[in-house]
Amino acid sequence: MKKFFIAAVLVLLPTVAGAAGFAKQSLFLSKSSVTEGDTVLIHATVSNDTATKFIGTLKLHDEDGTIGSVPVTLGSGEAGAVSVSWKPLAGTHTVLANLEDSAGTVVEESSQTFTIAAKAVATPASKNNSSNTSATVEPSTQIQESIGSVSPTAQTYAAPVFEAIDAGRVLGASTINDGIDWSKKELVEQAQKQKTKTTSGAADQDTGTMQTKATNTAWTIFATISLYVLSVLLYVVGNAGVFYPIFALLFFYILWRLFKRYRRPSY
């Protein structure tokens, strides 16, 4: 809300400066909490207080080097927000923004310090499972960036929601992976049992043996079906481009059902 308010003030209120430049506290990230490896957007709010059109470039860099640049075009009295993608390392970064005109002259500078959290280190007991789960779950970064290209403000407010959903997807994928491992283990055990019986030449046909064989067959079928179903679920949960459209459809369907339910007239 504070960032939106700053942008609104720039648009609605007259200013006393006589050149294009940055708003106060104009640099901010698309996510309030950033971990090493995350891709975020650096938003910058700029304004043009001159009587002529401003055409230039915003360039961003930190102590590690150049982050990126984006063209800036503002009419007289206009203000707007521009964004540059950034994938920072862990630690404290002071980002410097230079607003240059078409001749390459720096007309305004601004800086902001951001702290990037380090990645969590998995414990030895859960390292393999954690790495496998992380590998199968695609983050929603591209979806968030698509939203940010249309509305940086919407991306800022939607980021915590995506973070929570992504965390749930990782947890769900971990549970599904456990189920897949169980299904594979059961199929291997059933195959070994069948191989052992065939090798030993056991040919007992009594009632107990027949029931055991039927139970093993049913268990094998169940484990096979579970393996295929869980594999499909893992693909859906892990693929952001598949999961989020399905999630959105289910969300709106539930809203529609609730709307229909509470819209019914009471007699």
pLDDT at 234 (0 to 100): 87
Residues 156, 101, single domain; the answer is no
Tens of pLDDT along 238-264?
888 888 899 889 988 888 888 888 876
Residues 126, 203, single domain; the answer is yes
Residues 78, 135, single domain; the answer is no
pLDDT at 94 (0 to 100): 92
Q: What does R_g of the chain's alpha carbons equal in angstroms?
A: 28
- Inter-helix orientation angle 152-200/207-238, to 10°: 160
Q: Which residue has the tokens 């990645």?
A: 119
pLDDT at 67 (0 to 100): 92
pLDDT at 217 (0 to 100): 79
Q: What is the DSSP string of the chain?
A: -HHHHHHHHHHHS-----SEEEEEEEEEES-SS-BTT--EEEEEEEEE-SSS-EEEEEEEEETTEEEEEEEEEE-TT-EEEEEEEE-PPSEEEEEEEEEEETTS-EEEEEEEEEEEBPPPPPPTTTHHHHHHHHHH---SHHHHHHHHHH-HHHHHHHHHHHHHHHHHHHHHHHHHHHHHHHHHHHHHHHHHHHHHHHHHT----SHHHHHHHHHHHHHHHHHHHHHHHHHHHHHHHH-HHHHHHHHHHHHHHHHHHHHHHHHSPP-
The total number of structural domains that make up the chain: 2
pLDDT at 152 (0 to 100): 79
The percent of residues above 70 in pLDDT, for the chain, comes to 76
Residues 160, 214, single domain; the answer is yes
When pLDDT is averaged across residues 152-172 and rounded to a whole number, the result is 83
Residues 265, 134, single domain; the answer is yes
Please state, in angstroms and as integers, the Cα–Cα distance from residue 234 to each residue in 14, 136, 223, 245, following that order: 54, 8, 16, 16
Residues 266, 156, single domain; the answer is yes
Tens of pLDDT along 36-85?
888 889 988 888 888 899 999 999 999 888 999 999 998 988 888 888 99
Residues 204, 184, single domain; the answer is yes
Residues 99, 152, single domain; the answer is no
Of 56, 87, 120, the domain-final residue: 120
Residue 1: pLDDT above 80?
A: no
Of 76, 96, 120, the domain-final residue: 120
Of 120, 135, 161, the domain-final residue: 120
Domain with residue 22: its CATH number is 2.60.40.10
Residues 232, 208, single domain; the answer is yes
When pLDDT is averaged across residues 116-126 and rounded to a whole number, the result is 65
Tens of pLDDT along 164-204?
888 888 888 888 988 898 888 888 887 777 766 655 554 44
Residues 101, 186, single domain; the answer is no
Cα-Cα-Cα-Cα torsion 123, 160, 93, 149, nearest 10 degrees, comes to 130
Specify which of 4-8, 14-18, 22-26 reaches the highest per-range mean pLDDT: 22-26
The percent of residues above 90 in pLDDT, for the chain, comes to 12
Print the domain residue range for 147: 122-267
Residues 99, 170, single domain; the answer is no
Residues 245, 126, single domain; the answer is yes
